Amino acid sequence: MKLTELWACTATRRSSLEMLLVTSLSLVGASALAAETITMEVTQYLDLDAGAVLDRAPEDILEPADADIELAYHADRAPHAVVFPIGEGSELAFVADTAFDGVTADDVANLTFSSEGIDLPFSANVCVVIRTGQGVVYKLGNASESGNSVTFNYAIL
């Protein structure tokens, strides 16, 4: 993945120029779309853009500022893991009965996103699509739960 900065100058008046910074995501080759695998504990958070698992210190009231999702634990059923969108502007949509590899960028337009948590199990046969507050769209899937941890794949769409 490579971030490219494009500078555009627009004349707003004869005597001044306004500089606009446009950041575009430039995907180079098929490897940029390759899925990453991550393992996290329930009650942890994930910053998808950085690929970093985040913890909340016991004294902290709020979730980590960079977090996009939280894994929660639903004790009354198996699988127990539940994905919740966290962070300013993060939204999620579920794609049930569709394999992780079967979800593409073309599917995003037909999904119904919610910024509210949806209490559905995060399991192997569910693909979760997250749109971050920055507008980047990721898919999460192939979830496998073991004790209090969940291993899953994620990739940018």
Q: What is the pLDDT of residues 145-155, one digit of tens each?
A: 998 899 999 99
User: How confident is the model at residue 30, as a pLDDT?
Assistant: 34
pLDDT, one tens digit per residue, over 66-100 is 899 998 888 888 888 889 998 889 999 998 788 89
Instruction: Please compute the mean of the pLDDT values over residues 16-44 and round it to a whole number.
Output: 54
User: How confident is the model at residue 33, as a pLDDT?
Assistant: 62
Residue 5 Rama label (left phi>0; alpha psi -120 to 50; beta): beta
Using alpha carbons, select from 70, 64, 62, 77 the residue that is nearest to residue 41.
70
